[in-house]
Amino acid sequence: MPGRAKKEEYKQVSVSEFFEKNRHILGFDSAQKSLFMIVKEAVDNSLDACEERAILPEIKVRVDKVKDDIFRITVEDNGPGIERTVVPRVFGQLLYGSRFHVLRQTRGQQGLGITASILYGQSTSGEPCIITTKRREDEVAFHFVMGIDVRSNKADLKVEEPIIWDRESGTSITITAKGRYVTGKQSIMEYLKEVAVVNPNARIQFTDPEGKTVIFERSINEPAKPSKPTKPHPYGIELGELLSLSQFTEASDIVKMLATEFSRVSENSATEIVQKAGVDPGMNPKELTKEQAESIMKAIGETKLMPPTGESLSPISEQFIRLGMLAVYGEERPSFFGRPVSGKVRIYKGNPFSVEVGMVYGGDLPADQPVKIVRYANKVPLLFQPGSCAITQAISDIDWRQLGFDQKQGKGVPYGPAIILVHVHGPRLPYISESKEAIAPIDEIMDEIRNVIRIEVRQLRKFNSRAERNKKIGEKFNLVSVVVPEIAKKASEILSREIPDCTMVITRIANVIFVREDIINENGKKISRSSVVNYTMDKISMNLKIVFPFGEKDMEIRDLEPSKSYIFDQELSGIIGGYSGAEYYFTGINPVYVQGAEELPADWNLKGVETVEE
């Protein structure tokens, strides 16, 4: 290679210097995107830090206009804080971070983003960044004013001093940078809104340059489950990674290295690989040549290994998606909140990944607009390059017309009153570019996205037919509970007689158990009243499961007398967002006698993430 021969002639370029000249690679490619990128990098770091320590995140984002096109961005969190001595390295050095070489699903993945943001700010505004951080175990916080020396790829520390900060722990970072503040689909506001959807346990506050503050309140007090770091699976390894791993490893020989540094490789299969590759099993890994590494790669491909586990995956979870969508999209009063669906663990090039889908439908959502697709990769909202993304493309491939959506020739993004949330997660997702703005449309991933969306959408179809049926049931209930008594009352009025007892007539007409929900106001409180009315001639017993958009309730009904009601009240006043109604499921009674509820599906609680069996 000509480059290699003349290497000495080139000036050594530091990583910082390289990124300053090529900042588009990290997404700082336009004035309106740069402010967004800074917020995104800082917020992603905050959420990751909180998740690792099981802290309920509280994040405040503030964008102030300094002058003209210079803005000051402050992101403050209640995370664990950073030890004083590592601050210069964490923020001031590209490629520093604990995540390199560990296979684990996190938001930020390479430790590049926040330093690139500081670098971008410094080179466009001339201002250093300001960092304040405090750990729970420290008495005081530490305040830093810091730039980056691009030549040496190191922090250029201007101020470091202890200060009093009246909180237990947290980190605040302020970056001043050139940019353009925008609103709309690809804005800071939209980003934080989408962050709020998948982090219902976070309280997120945003103050825009005009001083307007929006708060996404926390709707669940439960920390997210952190992902577990796992070793890489050999099927997903690249040649360069294998070579660099052979330098890092503490294993004494190549067989031990394969068996200890990778998941799903036993000593036996390691020996098999090494033998197939024609490499000496006792060889010191540090002496591994490129040619030998290539042979090992080939041998790995020919060796049958257990597939990767899903342990390293960190789903948003069904409950979080449900609560988040309810809290954030509830204002648009959808008539249907789908039960979020999590797909199984799938493998792409030896790397595990999984897909989660949530959906809201109908209500006040616009029917004449394209459906809103909310994309996430590893819990990070994707706002850019929708057309190139596997999620958008997979949705466009589905024929939505049978579901009552408009779609030209059964291709493309459908039109209809729906918001579809798709989360693809896994430790090594393929992106279309370094700035990670869209998931690469790889067949395995697209197939799984389509697969999970179809499962989700099946519920919508059921919901639509259920809505039809509920209308009929509501009519019948109205008939026996309102109209027939009215006939009796009117007839008695005209004849000046006692109102006759209609119980027998009602039982003759209905002969069912009605399960229904009424939304009532009692003492200024909004209440969902579930009634089970026995219009049969016998005492009945049954088990009822009420599924609210925010959770489930199980109850046992025993010996309910004919023409008597069982009532369950659920207060709705504390519920954030609009309320779309409860669903009812039952067991323990002949289905022909029940109207307004469905038999509990047999696989009801087996729908979560399934890990591949060992």
Partner 1 sequence: MRSNENTEETLKNFVRQIYDSIQRGEIPEIRLKSRTKENIVLDSLLGVWKYGDQEVLRSAKKMDGAQFMAKTLYTIQFILEMLGESKSSTLREMYYISEGWKDYKFTAQDESNLLVEDMEVITELLREDFHLRPEENGASIIGNITIEEKNRKNEFKRINCRDDVGDAGYTIPYNVESEKLRLISHDADMIVALETGGMFDRLVENKFDEDFRAVLVHLKGQPARSTRRLLKRMNEEMNLPVYIFTDGDPWSFRIYASIAYGAIKTAHISHWLAVPTAEFVGITASDILTYDLPTDKLSDKDVAALNAELQDPRFNTEFWKSEIETMLKINQKAEQQALAKYGLNFVTETYLPEKLNLRS
Q: Which residues bind partner 1 (CB under 8 A)?
A: 475-476, 478-479, 482-484, 486-488, 490-495, 497, 500-502, 504-505, 508-509
Which H or E element spans position 132?
Answer: strand 129-134
**Torsion region of 467: left, alpha or beta (phi above 0 gives left; psi -120 to 50 gives alpha):** alpha
Please, which residue, 488 or 609, has the CB nearer to partner 1? 488
Tokens 């007839």, residue?
491
Please, which residue, 212 or 497, has the CB nearer to partner 1? 497
At 282, the amino acid letter reads G
Min. distance of Cβ 503 from partner 1 in angstroms?
A: 8
The structure tokens listed for 342 are: 């999590």
Please, which residue, 87 or 510, has the CB nearer to partner 1? 510
Please, which residue, 494 or 606, has the CB nearer to partner 1? 494
Min. distance of Cβ 481 from partner 1 in angstroms?
A: 11
Which H or E element spans position 272?
Answer: helix 267-277
Please, which residue, 320 or 535, has the CB nearer to partner 1? 535
Please, which residue, 499 or 520, has the CB nearer to partner 1? 499
Min. distance of Cβ 492 from partner 1 in angstroms?
A: 7
Min. distance of Cβ 594 from partner 1 in angstroms?
A: 20
Please, which residue, 479 or 555, has the CB nearer to partner 1? 479
Tokens 């964008």, residue?
63
At 197, the amino acid letter reads V
Min. distance of Cβ 504 from partner 1 in angstroms?
A: 3
In three-state secondary structure terms, 453 is: helix
Alpha-carbon distance 547 to 218, whole Å? 21
Contacts of 178 (CB under 8 A, 6+ apart): 31, 34, 69, 70, 71, 124, 125
Min. distance of Cβ 469 from partner 1 in angstroms?
A: 15
Please, which residue, 291 or 501, has the CB nearer to partner 1? 501
The alpha helices in 390-442, defined as continuous H runs, are 390-397
Please, which residue, 95 or 491, has the CB nearer to partner 1? 491
Closest alpha carbon to 27 in 430, 372, 379, 385: 385
Percent helix, percent strand, percent coil in the chain, to nearest 5? 35, 25, 40
Alpha-carbon distance 343 to 456, whole Å? 10
Closest alpha carbon to 428 in 376, 350, 357, 345: 350
DSSP state of 331: G
Min. distance of Cβ 508 from partner 1 in angstroms?
A: 5
Please, which residue, 1 or 494, has the CB nearer to partner 1? 494
Count of Cβ atoms closer than 10 Å to residue 484 Cβ: 16
Alpha-carbon distance 313 to 293, whole Å? 28
Closest alpha carbon to 599 in 589, 609, 613, 611: 589
Min. distance of Cβ 592 from partner 1 in angstroms?
A: 18
Distance, C-alpha 126 to centroid of its chain = 36
DSSP 428-442: T--BSSTT--SB---
Min. distance of Cβ 570 from partner 1 in angstroms?
A: 28
Min. distance of Cβ 480 from partner 1 in angstroms?
A: 9
